[in-house]
Amino acid sequence: MTGFAHPDFSAPRFAGVPDARFVPAPADGVLPENFFSTTNLPTYVRIDGRWRMPQEPRMDAALVLDAQRELWVREGRRLRKGDLVAVGHREDGTEGIYVYADAFMGDSAEGEFKFMTSEVSREKPIDYALMARLLVEERERGGYPVWVAGPALVHSRARNDMAWFIANGFVGAMLAGNAVAVHDIEASIFNTTLGMASSGEATTGGHGLHMRAINKVRAAGSIARAVEQGIIRDGIMHACVTHDVPFVLTGSIRDDGPLPDVITDNLVAQDAMRRHAIKATMAILIATALHAIATGNMLPAFVTNADGSLRELATICVDSSEFVVSKLKDRGTHQAFGVVTNAQDFMHILRLYVERELDARGRGAERSRAVAAAR
């Protein structure tokens, strides 16, 4: 991943620039006119003559200075009347706010005739070796890769591979919806997903099986308790519970049930997701438009290294069609790297390459698990 130095604020263009201006919020959950609307790029705010970066960066939010003169990025709905909010429209520093876009958005189409310049295409090679190396490096340095998945992951039987990544320390947190957990649990109990057998055939009476799976977990009280009681014996949720990997299941209007662990209020759910997003050092988004874009909205495009320098936050988006990746970028997650393929195949090959990478580094799964356990 590309690394970046901070901008040189001693450059002439920043001379004589004023401090950023802050204005109180007029009411609870309402921003002042001309509030500065954040991006996911490194952002510097001039306060008391010093350029500072806000904490918990994300796009589509506001810059808030608290009573301790700490600087935060906050969603408008979380503000209280009187909170101090930065105002201004310019991102070039002339109003005391500088968005460091060059480093991250600079490269494309330098006026040369080329083939294959599209950003996302099923015709581009997929560099599994690179992704495997990134994942292994993340694990080694104690990173926090956030995995976000849609139900196709389960339908298409990539459950085993996902559970392997969870069990082996490659997952900081798992973000998904009710359906992922429901299909995963249906597969564990009935060996079907939405009533479809592993051969892909719809089974007679199968349309009710996901409802029966949900009902069993509701009766147990929670997924963790259903694991304890032996109702859920394998799969993704089982791996999260038994390996203490935190998961967030967020609700949607499409949900059946829902499972007891699902957060049904979207604002509460966003807050729960964000608690992981602010820790993320990598993101893997698989076969979901809703959850991928929701997560993309919350993620900065960068990670701050231990030495204070910045690097791109590796964001991999996997989908069967170019459209989802393109849409994610169109919503501002420009750093996303698109992989156009089937979720099942992606998981299978990625695991294979991670295993090879581990072998190449001379570390068997045992030791890796130990490293992971020690985190």
Positions in 310-369 near a second copy (CB under 8 A) = 310-314, 320-323, 326-327, 329-335, 340-342, 344-346, 348-349, 352
Q: Do strands 21-24 and 84-87 pair parallel, antiparallel, or not at all (unpaired)?
A: antiparallel
Q: Which residues, other chains included, contact 110 with Cβ-Cβ below 8 Å and sequence gap of 6+?
A: none
Instruction: Kindly indicate which of the ranges 9-17, 139-147, 223-231, 291-299 contains the residues binding a second copy, using the contact rule CB under 8 A.
Output: 291-299
Asked if residue 231 lies in contact with residue 216, where contact means CB atoms within 8 angstroms, the answer is yes
Quick note: the x/- pattern for a second copy over 59-98, rule CB under 8 A, is xx--------------xxx-----------x-x-------
User: In angstroms, what is the minimal distance from the CB of 19 to a second copy?
Assistant: 21
CA distance 342 to 318: 8
DSSP assignments along 2-40, one per residue: -EEPPP-TTSGGGTTPPPPEEEE-SBTTBPPTTBPPP-S
User: In angstroms, what is the minimal distance from the CB of 48 to a second copy?
Assistant: 20
User: In angstroms, what is the minimal distance from the CB of 367 to a second copy?
Assistant: 25
Residue 109 in the binding site for a second copy (CB under 8 A): yes
How many CB atoms are located within 10 Å of the residue 256 CB?
A: 12
Q: Binding to a second copy (CB under 8 A): which residues in 194-223?
A: 194-196, 198-200, 202-208, 210-212, 214-215, 218-219
Closer residue to a second copy, CB minimum distance, 197 or 360: 197
Quick note: the x/- pattern for a second copy over 161-190, rule CB under 8 A, is ------------------------------
**Residue from 8, 16, 68, 108 binding a second copy (CB under 8 A):** 108
Map tokens 């990598």 to a residue: 282
Residue 160 in the binding site for a second copy (CB under 8 A): no
Structure tokens at 315: 């964001």
CA distance 98 to 53: 10
CA distance 63 to 71: 7
Largest Cα separation within the chain, whole Å, is: 75
Residue 4 in the binding site for a second copy (CB under 8 A): yes
User: In angstroms, what is the minimal distance from the CB of 81 to a second copy?
Assistant: 12
Residue 225 in the binding site for a second copy (CB under 8 A): no
**Residue from 11, 48, 68, 114 binding a second copy (CB under 8 A):** 114
Number of residues that bind a second copy (CB under 8 A): 144
CA distance 164 to 37: 40
User: In angstroms, what is the minimal distance from the CB of 373 to a second copy?
Assistant: 26
Q: Which helix (H) or strand (E) holds 226?
A: helix 223-228
